Amino acid sequence: MKIRLCTLVIASLAALSALPAARALDNGVARTPPMGWNSWNKFACKGLNEQVVRATADAIAGNGMKDAGYQFVNIDDCWQTGRDAGGNIVVDAEKFPSGIKALADYIHSKGLKFGIYTDVGTKTCAGRPGSIGHEYQDARQYAAWGVDYVKEDWCNTLPGQNAESSYTLMRDALAATGRPIVFSICEWGTNKPWLWAGPVGNLWRATDDIQDCWNCKRQWGGNGVVQIIDLMAAPGIESYAGPGHWNDPDMLEVGNGGMTTEEYRAHFSMWAMFAAPLLVGTDVANMSADTRSILLNRAVIAVDQDPLGQAALRVKKDGDIEVWSRQLADGGRAVALLNRSANPLSIGVAWIDIGYPSSLRATVRDLWTEKETHDQTDHYAAQVPSHGVVMVTVMPH
């Protein structure tokens, strides 16, 4: 009986361990959530140019961001103008007079990686040429330029166009180049991509576009941080994240001026709890001291980059009070005490809510103040500022 029970246990564990691999894109990249910069949130179409991107690469390489784990420098929409007689994508020569390959080479010379943008439809969201009908041609061009990351948007699609098959086509085109390329699916969460995108992309947008605001809902579809947090609480969505395949709540707005420092700190903390890509969307060459202190918090980044890759689950919600918990590879937990209200509140977390017995003794470390509480049992509570978060790790003795 013991032998049979042992065999069943081993078989069950083997089956469980095989599940993530079965639904994850196995292209060898994005084993932790990608970290880097994207041009759109700050510079959009009008402000994007070669000088901005080179200055950004210089800043990331020299201001501590590269050392903290940020590695991708990604240009978004508006780098392309059309196609030549052979159907090859044409670079906007006014914005990028040196060309894309020279820009990629410059970014690589800084020890960083380069990302580019396209769309599954006839045109991008800004009206530039999309990749439909040119997937393999574009993928070969990206690889020849030295692209390390491709984001593909979902604008100007054809009637009845299927998201899964469209993105699978680009996945296969990128794989055929033989170059390791992170593939980012930007389908806005419309068709619950977490249900199908694991074998297709390394990350997929699980929400609509982010806006630089705490609590807002734009008529045309943009979300504030609070709205995105609610979308990331969809039942079971956290189970689809893991090494090589990540839920993406959109890029970071930290530093762009629409929120307070406390709100930006909560924004950054919750993205780390979600095991989300950390793609900075501000002018990092000219960021403030507050922005720098948020983006370079190594302890919070370590939670985001935890190799277990298990995203947080909301374990408590009582009005504007929320508690989120995330299991870590070392057996500890990352916990976020989130206060969505307009007033400071005391928020607590019980050990039983995060998978520990009440009698467990643990060290609790606040990742923003760096203060530690030793020999804590049963629960932990803290005063949380309005629109703020207390983010801690709980490490059993």
Could you report the per-residue pLDDT of 81-132, keeping only the tens digit for each?
A: 999 999 999 999 999 999 999 999 999 999 999 999 999 999 999 999 999 9
Per DSSP, the three-state class of 360 is: coil
Please list, in sequence order, all residues whose beta carbon lies within 8 angstroms of the beta carbon of residue 243, skipping any fewer than 6 positions away: 20, 24, 30, 31, 32, 307, 309
Q: Where are the alpha helices (DSSP H) in 244-305?
A: 261-273, 289-295, 298-304
310-323 pLDDT per residue, tens: 999 999 999 999 99
Per the document, the length of the chain is 397
Res. 14: pLDDT tops 80:
no
Residue 2, domain member (yes or no):
no
Residue 328, domain CATH: 2.60.40.1180
Per-residue pLDDT averaged across 263-279, rounded?
Answer: 98
Domain co-membership, 272 together with 358: no
* Structural domain count of the chain: 2
Sheet bearing 246-248, strands edge to edge: 246-248, 203-205, 182-185, 149-153, 113-119, 72-74, 35-38, 278-280
Domain co-membership, 332 together with 266: no
Q: What range does the domain containing 217 cover?
A: 24-304
Tokens in use for 21? Answer: 């691999």
Last residue of a domain, one of 304, 323, 352: 304
Domain co-membership, 223 together with 342: no
Flag whether the pTM goes above 0.75: yes
Per-residue pLDDT averaged across 41-50, rounded?
Answer: 98
Cα–Cα nearest to 110, from 59, 75, 49, 69: 59
Residue 13, domain member (yes or no):
no
Per-residue pLDDT averaged across 359-382, rounded?
Answer: 97
Domain co-membership, 45 together with 110: yes
Active site residues: 153, 209
